Amino acid sequence: MSDLHGFYFEDLSVGQTASYAKTVTEADVILFAGISGDTNPVHLNEEFASATMFKGRIAHGMLSAGFISTVFGTKLPGPGCIYLSQNLKFKAPVKIGDTVVAKVEVVELMPEKKRASFKTTVTVGTTTVIDGDAVLMVPSRG
């Protein structure tokens, strides 16, 4: 496996896992708001957010979900894979200062189309904040 190519389909096996951890910062939230255009005050305005059920600002759910893409694009399967679908269930908030861990696990291989299904999770400590599944197209050696 070179630095410019991840795993080939033939290298994958059910049960393989990879993860990525990141502490969410103030800058991450501000930059994501600017890039995405999502300026919901629950993410940016402490006074507003403190009156919500979260009792303070929370990070964008899609910011945390984006770390799943980080794992796919850089670790497993890695460079060269193509994201085809993702289902997400947002289960708990992520606050500024939380360390999120995005993890993917190969759950099914579909050799006829060179596709792989993954279980995807994002956690903060022992709390699952996002649960889901994804399908990716993975390059083949053949």
Query: Which residue ranges form the domains of the chain, and what is each CATH number?
Result: 9-24+58-137 (3.10.129.10)
Counting residues of the chain whose pLDDT is more than 90, the rounded percentage is 95
Does residue 132 have a pLDDT over 70?
yes
Strand partners, 117: 108, 135
pLDDT given for residue 1 in this prediction: 45
Per-residue burial over 18-45, b if 16 or more Cβ lie within 10 Å, else e, is: bbbebebeeebbeebbeeeeeeeebbee
| Spatial contact of 79 and 47, defined as CB atoms under 8 Å apart | no
Residues 53-105 pLDDT 10s: 999 999 999 999 999 999 999 999 999 999 999 999 999 999 999 999 999 99
Does residue 33 have a pLDDT over 90?
yes
